[in-house]
Structure 1
Amino acid sequence: MNHNELYERWLAASLEDPDLTAELRSIKGRDAEILDRFYRDLAFGTAGLRGVIGAGNNRMNIYTIRRATQGLANYLLAQSEEPHVAISYDSRIKSDLFSREAAGVLAANGIRVSIYRELMPVPALSFATRELRCDAGIMVTASHNPAKYNGYKVYGSDGCQMTENAADAVLKEINSLDVLTGAKTMKFEDALASGIVSYIPEEVVDRFIDNVLAQQVNPGVCEKAGLKLVYSPLNGAGNKPVRRVLAAIGARDVTVVPEQEHPDGSFPTCPFPNPEIKEALAKGLELARETGADLMLATDPDCDRVGIAVKEGEDYTLLTGNHVGALLFDYICRCRTENGTMPRDPVAVTTIVSTKLTQMIGKAYGVEVRSVLTGFKYIGEQIALLESAGHPERFLFGFEESYGYLSGTYVRDKDAVVGSMLIVEMASWYKQRGMSLVDALNDLYKRFGICRESVSNFQFEGAEGMKIMAGMMEKLRENPPAEIAGQKVTCVSDYEKSTSTCEGKASPIDLPKSNVLEYALADGCTAIVRPSGTEPKIKLYLSVVGRDMAEIDARAAAMGADVKRIMGV
């Protein structure tokens, strides 16, 4: 069927969600609106589904959720006689509905389901999947996207996001199903009453919290330092677990942003609930200035990312994910070495787009640093490799530049609960020494050299946007730049072709294939271009080195302008 035929079919159907019928009627005769909803199926990949909430096969709704879950059910039933799936959800619009719909489809297929009684963070889902020995996990969330989005992440039995091979197998099952009629269904209440669906016990939540608390580096330091905090859960799932953990480590002076305290998927005071951007922290910064807080932190709606602002003089400085990752890594290495708690042959894992400081810090402390592709599942895979070798304790710390951190092996995804705890502990430790985290960052630069990373995002919505992004990446592959901002490109690494070409000599890249291009310059700077795996945009990562901030600023500006020219944006 073409997009108009699909539209007419949906319009004529007796849809169970009245919001969908009302939306379809409202766009009648508007071809562009119809095309955007029906020109393709909502893509299912290793990150599962993510899209705008609404009517159509290119939207998040109960029918696309049911179809994806039926595909997952078919896959699981082929792998196991008695599959078991854990489910969690965050505060987004219809997240609770979508989680119950997924549970109902699984139940209708005879698959046992354990679901959280209330919204819980991504790491709690990863934990429950492992703790309850489930075959898979489902997290209903669109992470830090705007309010109009929702999503559906699928996890393997190891608590990592689903592998590419498994996702391909599930996609094959999904593609064999009709979106409106292909799924078996069962009312959530009936499934709950039958016992095939049950709520996850509170003891599992307690064990998750206990595992977070076990990652403390200097227990007791928060009680002594008396750090003054402002916290915002950005109307998401972090409110209860983060506050519970902060109270447990002795962080008593915590003021929560009242407008962003309780779950609300419309995010009324924060249109983009992403702690990576300053606008998301605006309310928290207002409150921090009023209270004179030492530190302000915010977790995103599914509580797997945390962003911070640090008091510096009369105002606050926002630290990036790279800043915080480097600071945490150095703090953990320094204190575990001093305390005698550093494991033998420690390993840290980061991503190819994260700060170069990681390698320098690791070398100074004798920690092996492994670089993987963007996506925390690749960090989780490295933990699994250590575990399979019988030494999970070697894993010291993992982080990615997009504000995701993990210490410990109890989950296999980034965890803003443990991230928040360690940031507050670290800030308390430095406060006892008369230093802020800005002071600590400047000290890092003195010890290891100055480098700065930045990320630019270029949005391309709809069907036309997908074509533009594909054309842009193809053009860059066919015509790689010889120089950027006056500096010779010494290496071009194409992660999709698994080849790095330096000074005309090609060598293999020993990482999974990924649509990423990296350009290394003669002066030590790098530029990386990649389409987002979860959003309709291309990302440009710049890593800039220099003798001082003035030189770095000048280089960054010149590189950014030139790469944008080359990309044609």
Structure 2
Amino acid sequence: MNDLTTRAREWLGQDPDPATRAELKSLLDSGDHDGLADRFGAKLEFGTAGLRGELGAGPNRMNRVTVMRAAAGLAAVLGPGRHVVVGYDARHNSDVFARDTAAVLTGAGLTVSLMGGLFPTPVLAFAVRHLKADAGVMVTASHNPPRDNGYKVYWSDGAQIIPPVDSEISAAIDAAGRVDELPLGERWTTLSARDILTPYLEAVTALPLGAARDLRVAYTPLHGVGGTTLGQAFMLAGFTSPMSVGAQSRPDPDFPTVAFPNPEEPGAMDLALELASASAVSADLVIANDPDADRCAVGARQADGVFRMLTGDEVGGLLAEHVLRSTSAPDRLVATTIVSSSLLGRIAEAHGVRHRETLTGFKWIMKAGSGLVFGYEEALGYSVGSDEGLPVHDKDGIGAALTVAAIAAEAKQRGLSLIDLLDDQAVRYGLHATSQLSFRVDDLAQITDAMARLRAKPPARLGGRTVESIDDLAAGSPDLPPTDGLRYRLSGGGRVVVRPSGTEPKLKCYLELVLPVTEIAETRSAAADQIEALKADLREVLAL
């Protein structure tokens, strides 16, 4: 009996799930070595994004054994008597994984508050601080494909964990014994909507939203869990309830109308844009949440009546300026990541507030410093605050949607659109044109090889611009911990950051060019051409 077979039989003996036991038994009975190697030749690594991966049997999959071991590791780090809030979305097995987590934690002597229904991730993040818990767990794979699930861990500050806590939990997971020998509890508190959703809604509707409310919004939760919460938030804030895409309005873990349930992916917004453009609807704005509603996508109607999806950087710039105009605390801070637009720095300078860049991920944005009133990342993630601070210490697609609607309603009252506001920012700060180029791979070694090639033979020119300097982010700096990435600063005002995705099998390139504005339409056209030239060179250099 080889090592793979031995490990598979040991796993089979402790697996409480009939479905994954049957999957594993079939592989063993058929002698499927490749199938076993795929599941047992590696394991899902617990890191600062927690766990995320394909559902199935074995340590390299998301399943009940993997989740129970993760809960045992978390329990070992926290210790008995600590309080953990557990939430879950509508993905396959999310509710099962959440109950397994509650059982393991309570069996280890911890107190658990289990959210009694499908709630967005930002509600869980809010609940950790609201209930003064020591940690939180959200079972979700966010915008990953239907076959995936995941496990996010939050600390007592309501933000996702960062080193060294992630390493401590990972080591404790590795030390956990068989899950069929873990003591399991049966008593935990079940949180109702009144317990946690009501205070969350009160907090986000207390954000600076102005007084204008005349706005028609087309909305999609992309088969996720955000629809009910967003609708309640809009009505409580005094907006008309958004018109929702019927085919995508109910939670569905198979995401039948989209290839990927990510509003950034081609085609994902087609039904929402179709609804918004219908003459009977005549929407001013299109809003989408990803399936766990921590991200927010925005589309605005142009002068020709056609909707354009805004980039995360464009929405971030509008939200930042709104927050800074609506707050007055003396020591305010705004933060974004190294792959997001440099526009936020220009806005902060104009408003006389502090600005900070962090590593990619909201867990780092939340550690930017005291006085944080706004944080965002270009991947459609925003946390909007007031002089009282941030109600959610993670990205919050509901609070962001409310605030964007408030900005759009105020602009409409003045006869303007979000496009007009973006043009005004471009005139004042320069046009910060950003885009992204991603390469999805089947073998992660392709990404490793591509990064090695870039380090061994760095490009001298990109998009017709000279590469003036290169920062290898793996070396770290006084301001940034080490991370696998390369940043190229280009002549004439621009930069490219290349890094592996932390949640998907992708190599990502983040592009920015800054152009002074003479005539806005001509400048936007020139920027688009220059961005395409930059992408063409990157495709050639990366050869993926």
- The TM-score with structure 2 as length reference comes to 0.93
Cα deviations by residue, 1:392-447 (Å, 9 ceiling, x for unpaired)? xx322111101011122222101011001001101101101111111211121122
Where does 1:7-22 land on structure 2 (aligned, <5 Å)?
Answer: 7-10=8-11, 13=13, 15-22=15-22
2:416 matched residue in structure 1: 435
1:144 matched residue in structure 2: 143
Greater CA deviation, 106-115 or 406-415? Answer: 406-415
2:7 matched residue in structure 1: 6
User: Structure 1 pair 371/20, CA: closer, same or farther in 2 (3 Å)?
Assistant: same
Aligned equivalents of 1:203, 1:43: Cα separation in 2: 34
Offset at residue 343 of structure 1 (A): 1.7
User: Structure 1 pair 555/179, CA: closer, same or farther in 2 (3 Å)?
Assistant: farther
2:87 matched residue in structure 1: 88
1:166 paired with 2:156, answer: no
2:338 matched residue in structure 1: 352
1:236 matched residue in structure 2: 224
Aligned equivalents of 2:433, 2:174: Cα separation in 1: 44
Aligned equivalents of 1:331, 1:361: Cα separation in 2: 11
Offset at residue 51 of structure 1 (A): 0.2
Aligned equivalents of 1:269, 1:476: Cα separation in 2: 38
**Identity within the alignment, %:** 38
Match for 2:532: what amino acid?
Answer: A
3-state SS, counterpart of residue 415 of structure 2: coil
Aligned equivalents of 2:225, 2:353: Cα separation in 1: 33
1:390 matched residue in structure 2: none
3-state SS, counterpart of residue 279 of structure 1: coil
Cα deviations by residue, 1:60-82 (Å, 9 ceiling, x for unpaired)? 000000011111111111xxx51
Aligned equivalents of 1:527, 1:459: Cα separation in 2: 18
Offset at residue 43 of structure 1 (A): 1.0
User: Structure 1 pair 512/292, CA: closer, same or farther in 2 (3 Å)?
Assistant: same
Offset at residue 10 of structure 1 (A): 4.1
Offset at residue 369 of structure 1 (A): 1.4
Where does 1:448-487 land on structure 2 (aligned, <5 Å)?
Answer: 448-461=429-442, 465-487=443-465
Aligned equivalents of 2:512, 2:295: Cα separation in 1: 21
Match for 2:512: what amino acid?
Answer: S
Offset at residue 565 of structure 1 (A): 2.1
Residue number among 33, 36, 39 corresponding to 1:37 in the alignment: 39
Greater CA deviation, 429-438 or 552-561? Answer: 552-561
Offset at residue 180 of structure 1 (A): 5.2
Residue number among 289, 300, 312 corresponding to 2:290 in the alignment: 300
Offset at residue 374 of structure 1 (A): 0.6
Cα deviations by residue, 1:209-242 (Å, 9 ceiling, x for unpaired)? 1111111241x211xxx21111111121211221
1:205 matched residue in structure 2: 197
Aligned equivalents of 1:395, 1:21: Cα separation in 2: 48
Structure 1: 5+ residue runs without aligned partners?
387-393, 499-507
Offset at residue 176 of structure 1 (A): 1.6
2:236 matched residue in structure 1: 248
Structure 2: 5+ residue runs without aligned partners?
517-522
Count residues with an aligned counterpart.
528
| Deviant stretches of 4+, over 6 Å | none
Match for 1:24: what amino acid?
Answer: L
2:407 matched residue in structure 1: 426
1:319 paired with 2:289, answer: no
Match for 1:420: what amino acid?
Answer: A
Aligned equivalents of 1:445, 1:104: Cα separation in 2: 53
1:283 matched residue in structure 2: 271
Offset at residue 29 of structure 1 (A): 4.1
Q: Does the 8 Å contact 1:93/1:265 carry over to 2?
A: yes
3-state SS, counterpart of residue 533 of structure 1: coil
1:501 matched residue in structure 2: none
Q: Does the 8 Å contact 1:137/1:156 carry over to 2?
A: yes
Match for 2:375: what amino acid?
Answer: G
1:554 paired with 2:542, answer: no
Match for 1:153: what amino acid?
Answer: K
Where does 1:103-182 land on structure 2 (aligned, <5 Å)?
Answer: 103-178=102-177, 181=180
Aligned equivalents of 1:179, 1:561: Cα separation in 2: 51
1:407 paired with 2:384, answer: yes
Match for 1:469: what amino acid?
Answer: I
Aligned equivalents of 2:143, 2:113: Cα separation in 1: 25
2:23 matched residue in structure 1: 23
Q: Does the 8 Å contact 2:229/2:398 carry over to 1?
A: yes
3-state SS, counterpart of residue 204 of structure 1: helix
Where does 1:512-531 land on structure 2 (aligned, <5 Å)?
Answer: 512-531=481-500
Offset at residue 511 of structure 1 (A): 1.0
3-state SS, counterpart of residue 323 of structure 2: helix
Q: Does the 8 Å contact 2:55/2:62 carry over to 1?
A: yes
What do you get for the CA RMSD once the two structures are aligned?
1.9
1:395 matched residue in structure 2: 372
3-state SS, counterpart of residue 129 of structure 1: helix
User: Structure 1 pair 30/282, CA: closer, same or farther in 2 (3 Å)?
Assistant: farther
Aligned equivalents of 1:318, 1:3: Cα separation in 2: 48
3-state SS, counterpart of residue 473 of structure 1: helix
Match for 1:214: what amino acid?
Answer: A
User: Structure 1 pair 278/429, CA: closer, same or farther in 2 (3 Å)?
Assistant: farther
- The TM-score with structure 1 as length reference comes to 0.89
Cα deviations by residue, 1:101-145 (Å, 9 ceiling, x for unpaired)? 110111111111001111111111111111211111000000111
Offset at residue 6 of structure 1 (A): 2.9
1:51 paired with 2:53, answer: yes
Q: Does the 8 Å contact 1:276/1:321 carry over to 2?
A: no
Aligned equivalents of 2:453, 2:191: Cα separation in 1: 51
Q: Does the 8 Å contact 1:147/1:271 carry over to 2?
A: no
Aligned equivalents of 2:411, 2:42: Cα separation in 1: 52
Aligned equivalents of 1:283, 1:243: Cα separation in 2: 18
Where does 1:328-347 land on structure 2 (aligned, <5 Å)?
Answer: 328-334=319-325, 336=326, 341-347=327-333
Cα deviations by residue, 1:488-542 (Å, 9 ceiling, x for unpaired)? 21111112102xxxxxxxxx44211111110101222211111111112111111
Aligned equivalents of 1:92, 1:253: Cα separation in 2: 26
Match for 1:18: what amino acid?
Answer: P
User: Structure 1 pair 183/520, CA: closer, same or farther in 2 (3 Å)?
Assistant: farther
Residue number among 207, 211, 232 corresponding to 1:215 in the alignment: 207
